[in-house]
Amino acid sequence: MNPAQWFTEQVPGAETAFSLKIKQKLHEEQSPFQHLEIYETETFGNLMVIDGCTMVSTRDNFFYHEMMSHPVLFTHPEPKKVWIIGGGDCGTLREVLKHPSVEHAVQIDIDERVTRLAEIYFPELCASNHDARADLKFIDGIKWVKDAAPNSVDIIIVDSTDPIGPAEGLFGEDFYRDCYHCLSEHGMLVQQSESALYHMQLIGEMREAMSNSGLSHLQTLFFPQCLYPSGWWSATIAGKTALSAFRQQDCANKIFDTTYYNVDIHKAAMAQPEFFKKAFPLK
Ligand code: SAM
């Protein structure tokens, strides 16, 4: 194996690594916030890497983008206003805008360069960037939420990098408290919550911080994501009030295409593994 032909992400702590065979490096730069790389791979299409961590590939991003958006949007009774904190590759924004009830979706990424590179190397993810309902802001999501008016959003999707560097504060109690204040009455936050195989301590800390902030109605959901550490990823929904029932009929009759998500996948993703139930018993 010639290391020059492979991109490898090592996972500290888990002492594992994931590699993709590459055809060529397409781009590399240091933005004001992070180190950005784009590769053309042999079998996964294009790959975006931020600070050495895999973010998005052409081939498998649909798992993540669909599961970060549709489960929460089909749980909220009537999502009209949605914010995406991070999400600069624009894939989550594209999924959110598939919902006809959404009137305004704001993507708030700290780093404009991520979006500019996505436009070049992942144009399919940026297909809805010019939708009249879409609004792209390039500022710190922590400041955006802190400055927002109460009751100004129905769903906040935190589609961020891992909790290091500029994303660290997006996993803290102060941030969740600010989210609580700007969410509407049945408001919900959903956040990527890493791997339940590798990162149980982080998931526990996140859940505690969410609960302490008032976003205490929690539901973690699970899905495959080959590109991310362990290949098994999660997202956690945190509601201001008890989470509403899954709008199953609306989901079954959805007027848009998905590649992974459907009614059965929604239900399966909500099932809690035994070790997870023991760690986080229902209150
Ligand atoms: N799917 C990815 C994952 O879980 O690895 C996340 C992809 S998305 C590209 C992550 C984005 O979060 C990056 O574009 C980064 O600029 C953004 N980000 C990190 N910290 C942020 C902050 N404080 N405010 C807004 N965006 C932030």
User: Which of 57, 83, 100 finishes a domain?
Assistant: 57
Which atom of ligand 1 is closest in space to residue 114's alpha carbon?
Answer: 14
Query: Are 13 and 110 contained in the same domain?
Result: no
Query: Are 53 and 72 contained in the same domain?
Result: no
Say if ligand 1 is within 6 A of residue 71 CB. no
Query: Are 43 and 119 contained in the same domain?
Result: no
Q: What pLDDT is recorded for position 140? A: 97
Mind listing the pLDDT tens digit for each residue in 70-91? Answer: 999 999 999 999 999 999 999 9
- Supply the residue whose CA is at minimum distance from atom 2 of ligand 1: 55
Query: Are 80 and 66 contained in the same domain?
Result: yes
User: Is 1 part of a structural domain of the chain?
Assistant: no
Which atom of ligand 1 is closest in space to residue 64's alpha carbon?
Answer: 1
- Supply the residue whose CA is at minimum distance from atom 8 of ligand 1: 87
Residues 6+ apart with CB under 8 A from 274: none
Cβ-count burial 88-98 (b if 16+ within 10 Å, e if not): bbbbbbbbbbb
What average pLDDT does the chain have? 96
Q: What pLDDT is recorded for position 4? A: 83
Say if ligand 1 is within 6 A of residue 110 CB. yes
Q: What pLDDT is recorded for position 273? A: 97
Query: Are 213 and 265 contained in the same domain?
Result: yes
Q: What pLDDT is recorded for position 283? A: 67
User: Model confidence at 204, in pLDDT bands (50, 70, 90)?
Assistant: very high
CATH number at residue 16: 2.30.140.10
The tally of domains found in the chain comes to 2
Query: Are 192 and 132 contained in the same domain?
Result: yes
Distance CA 11, CA 230 (A): 9
Query: Are 253 and 175 contained in the same domain?
Result: yes
Query: Are 51 and 95 contained in the same domain?
Result: no
- Assign 3-class secondary structure to 246-279: CCHHHHHCCCCCCCCCCHHHHHHHHCCCHHHHHH
- Supply the residue whose CA is at minimum distance from atom 10 of ligand 1: 160
Q: What pLDDT is recorded for position 167? A: 92
Q: What pLDDT is recorded for position 125? A: 98
User: Is 13 part of a structural domain of the chain?
Assistant: yes
Query: Are 79 and 52 contained in the same domain?
Result: no
Query: Are 38 and 86 contained in the same domain?
Result: no
Q: Could you tell me the residue range of the domain that residue 45 belongs to? A: 6-57
Q: What pLDDT is recorded for position 162? A: 86
Which atom of ligand 1 is closest in space to residue 169's alpha carbon?
Answer: 23
Average pLDDT over residues 159-171: 91
Query: Are 36 and 110 contained in the same domain?
Result: no
Mind listing the pLDDT tens digit for each residue in 237-274? Answer: 999 999 989 999 999 999 999 999 999 999 999 999 99
CATH number at residue 68: 3.40.50.150
Supply the residues annotated as catalytic: 159
Mind listing the pLDDT tens digit for each residue in 98-144? Answer: 999 999 999 999 999 999 999 999 999 999 999 999 999 999 999 99
Mind listing the pLDDT tens digit for each residue in 40-72? Answer: 999 999 999 999 999 999 999 999 999 999 999
